[in-house]
Amino acid sequence: MKLVAQRIRGMQDALPNEGKKWLEVLSAAMNEAKLYGFKYIRTPVLEQTELFNRSAGDTSDIVNKEMYTFKDRGGRDVCLRPEGTAGVMRAALENGLHSKPLPLKLMYHSSCYRYEKPQQGRYREFFQFGLEILGSSSESSDAQLICAGYNIIKKLGIRDVKLSINSIGCSECRAKYVEALKSYLKVHANKLCKTCTERFDRNTLRILDCKESNCKSIINHAPIITSFLCEKCFKSFSILKSHLDSLEIVYEIDPGIVRGLDYYNGTVFEFLTEFSGAPTAICGGGRYDGLSQTLGGPPLPAVGFGFGMERVLAIMKQQGIELLSKSEPLIYIASMDFESSLKAEKLCEDLRRASVYAESDIFSRSLKSQMKYADKIGAAYTIVIGSEEMKSGKSLMKEMKNGIEFEIPLNSSFVKEVLKHIN
């Protein structure tokens, strides 16, 4: 089949089977977030490019190389959001949410767009489930957020996940560290890969993220940021560790975690697991106390994280984790003529209104093909209505797995009787 247009590279369709798992993961994550008081927020996919130039930073790879930017028909510079946090902060400030009682706890599920090289677990359109706590600089909010991420992973049943944390300090400690890192790297400059050479001046910290083996061995001996933390940042990082210890959250300190967005300061963290043979972040986040002011708002310290939904689902598949909830049993009501098809249609509606999954024929198929179809779509129970059943006012409901039949009245007690047998 030659279609006039195909799926765009790096974009994915979520087909019904995948879609079902997706909704389950999302609802498990949202339910967990609700226990902490997070409220849902939705922001537009299209934002002014300036929002991300300022927040993610115009030296970051995301802004420099990966954004989908264009001029709209009015000549405005706009882009598809590459991540969820900046839009959430903009919306909170623009709508005055920060003048409500703090902290503000927000959750979102947003499509994001990055023009990266598509590969397993890395797409040009992907979805983030994110949580943000705005208005608190306390380490207990970092700890609470990390706990929420930890509990979501546990609820989903994902195993072998490592929590890596780090502190990238404040702008002062970071500036000193970048100096020291540059002097160290200078000595090895001729051995760095092309990307790291490009990053040397503009985005030095990102060199720590390089996966090239040569760069990795150089980085292994580089000075570490935690040795450059000022007293305040050092103390804050120690307090966070005490919170995590007391909450019995297992973590490791990885001074290599610097994150790819410029708005971070202090605590940064990632939940990582093995995927396609390499440690992969399913969730990343950290503190971004300066973002509100960068965008022109008041001081509003904040911390948050984003889960990559595709990665979560791919890892669940890799680990053989099945659907979390049982699917609803389907009741198929077959009919034999126009009159009984009207009855089947009405009884199906009555069942749906009682939250029971039900189907009836919409193709005027023969009884034989209706039963075949019921089998194909996995009906747990079938009911057949024809002129006899219409006359007697009752039918039999058959449990397909064992053939057991129950008599069911086709009157106002229908739903009650069905519920009695399926529950």
For binding to ligand HAM (CB under 6 A), which residues are involved? 83-85, 114, 116, 121-123, 126, 128, 130, 132, 260, 281-286, 288, 304-306, 308, 310-311
- Describe the crossing of helices 309-318 and 16-34 by its angle, rounded to 10 degrees: 110
Residue bearing tokens 């540059």: 182
* Least gap, CB of 227 to ligand HAM (angstroms): 25
Residue 106 vs 410, nearer CB to ligand HAM? 106
* Least gap, CB of 373 to ligand HAM (angstroms): 37
* Least gap, CB of 390 to ligand HAM (angstroms): 55
Report CA 70 to chain centroid distance, whole Å: 26
* Least gap, CB of 260 to ligand HAM (angstroms): 6
Residue 259 vs 398, nearer CB to ligand HAM? 259
Residue 122 vs 155, nearer CB to ligand HAM? 122
Residue 108 vs 332, nearer CB to ligand HAM? 108
- Determine the residue with CB nearest ligand HAM: 308
Residue 22 vs 373, nearer CB to ligand HAM? 22
Residue 177 vs 305, nearer CB to ligand HAM? 305
* Least gap, CB of 382 to ligand HAM (angstroms): 42
* Least gap, CB of 413 to ligand HAM (angstroms): 51
Residue 84 vs 169, nearer CB to ligand HAM? 84
- Describe the crossing of helices 338-353 and 414-422 by its angle, rounded to 10 degrees: 60
* Least gap, CB of 272 to ligand HAM (angstroms): 9
What is the largest distance, in Å, between two alpha-carbon atoms of the chain? 93
